[in-house]
């Protein structure tokens, strides 16, 4: 048996409950065909790079599973006839994936407040003074005048030879 990763995009109009039922349906299909589910990660709704079936966004779901190549072929055929799945991709992994979450996004996690990532002290370190910008501009001007002078010297030396 080999390790595989599938990423599929579910129609954006599906609410979280319907999305969870689609995820369960895919999980059950993998198990029915004889595969072993390793991890599920609901990435949430994201904008598509290009429209698929006239949709500009979709809910992305990433799954890792273990299966034989024949199961993957059957799973791919099954994915293609599912109307609620806009697109899918299955790839073979060289080794068993590690450190993967096994979770499904639920309504409780959406209501939680985000955690603050940066503190005031970190922001103070990132502040740049206007003097810093002026010094950079002066350096750029010096480099431009230096390169212009070098070109002029080459022109003069080539005229003397001719």
Report the C-alpha gap between 74 and 6 in whole angstroms.
13
Report the C-alpha gap between 98 and 91 in whole angstroms.
16
pLDDT (tens digit per residue) in 69-127: 999 999 999 999 999 999 999 999 998 887 766 654 444 333 333 333 333 334 444 44
For the record, the structure tokens of 148 come out as: 């212009």
Residue 147 has pLDDT above 80, yes or no: no
Closest CA to 106 of 16, 2, 3, 14: 16
Q: Is there a contact between 90 and 71 (Cβ–Cβ < 8 Å)?
A: no
For the record, the structure tokens of 94 come out as: 């060289």
Q: What is the mean pLDDT of the chain?
A: 75
Q: Does 42 or 152 have the greater pLDDT score?
A: 42
Note the pTM of the prediction, 2 decimals. Answer: 0.61
- CA 39-40-44 angle, to 5 degrees, is 155
């Amino acid at each position: 048996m080999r390790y595989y990763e599938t990423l599929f995009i579910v129609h954006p109009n599906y609410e979280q409950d319907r999305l969870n039922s689609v995820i369960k349906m895919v999980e059950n299909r993998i198990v029915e065909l004889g595969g072993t589910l390793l991890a599920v990660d609901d990435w949430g709704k994201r904008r598509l790079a290009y429209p698929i079936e006239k949709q500009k966004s979709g809910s992305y779901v990433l799954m890792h599973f273990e299966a034989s190549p024949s199961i993957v072929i059957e799973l791919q055929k099954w994915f293609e006839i599912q109307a609620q799945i806009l697109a899918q991709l299955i790839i073979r992994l060289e080794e068993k994936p590690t450190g993967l979450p096994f979770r499904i996004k639920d309504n409780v996690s959406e209501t939680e407040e985000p955690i603050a990532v940066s503190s005031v002290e970190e922001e103070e370190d990132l502040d740049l003074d206007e003097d810093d910008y002026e010094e950079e501009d002066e350096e750029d001007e010096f480099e431009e005048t230096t390169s212009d002078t070098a070109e002029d010297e080459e022109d003069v030396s080539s005229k003397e030879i001719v």
